[in-house]
Amino acid sequence: MIYFCFIFLSCLFPASALSDVIVHDMIVLKGEEVMLRAETRGRLLSKGGEVVEFFVDGKSIGKTLSGGDGFAFRQFIPLKTGMYQITVKSGGDEDNGLLLSLKKGDRIIFVDVEGSLLEGLFSKRPMKGSQKTIKKISRRFPVAFLQAGVLGVKAIKVWLKKNEFLELPVVPWRQGAIFDEINEKGVKIKAVIGSPSIIESAKEYKPMAFSFEETDDAEEVKDWEEIRKRLIDRTTHKDK
């Protein structure tokens, strides 16, 4: 059954042809040195010894060789909060990613793509009002999408772009490791929106939690407008 779901969803969300170079989205702290990471690949496996050039907001910050595992790294220090556009080029191939720079004490919201944006498991349509609500939420808080199911990051990005979602970082959930890392950076998890398993993995950090499924660890909601009211309106009231 799991294999069938994987094949079905892969057909619904076909990723664009795999690039020979791939850059990973990141969430980092302003003023702290980070290692930008890219991966060079052949048709099936990682490929080392390739020259990779890194660009931040269109400006080159240098070249490096990918190692035997196919990964290439470049140092970078974000000097502002907000979003940076990261581009990597290798040979005739390139890929784009996002780096979200935050400061300690900032509050971030995570959105589980498969668990809260799809109308259903076998639907490729986004839930009504989700694009509009996420855009409104992002005006008040940093937002990141979570990759947590059978779809890979690349396939999720293609689907988000096709359905006109705001361009935001897509980061792997990794059974909750992302929440531990964010907490260690001194960034607070304002809210988590998604499936019960995603929410359960973050509950020790006591975020607001919303799910379209019944669970003891979150407020069950029926649509994204309800999330907007509970998250934005309630937060605005508390801040007064």
Strands (E), the chain: 21-23, 26-29, 34-40, 51-56, 59-65, 71-76, 82-90, 93-102, 107-112, 143-147, 170-172, 188-193, 208-211, 219-220
CATH superfamily of 107-239: HAD superfamily/HAD-like (3.40.50.1000)
The first and second tokens of residue 102, run together, are: 């935050």
17-53 pLDDT, tens digit each:
455 899 999 999 999 999 999 999 876 677 888 999 9
Return residue ranges of the chain for CATH 2.60.40.10: 21-102
What CATH class has 21-102?
A: mainly beta
Cβ proximity of 224 and 127 under 8 Å? yes
- The one-letter code for the residue type at 163 is N
The first and second tokens of residue 188, run together, are: 């607070």
Return residue ranges of the chain for CATH 3.40.50.1000: 107-239
131-188 pLDDT, tens digit each:
999 999 999 999 999 999 888 999 999 999 999 999 999 999 999 999 999 999 999 9
Cβ proximity of 118 and 152 under 8 Å? no
192-215 pLDDT, tens digit each:
999 999 999 999 999 999 999 999
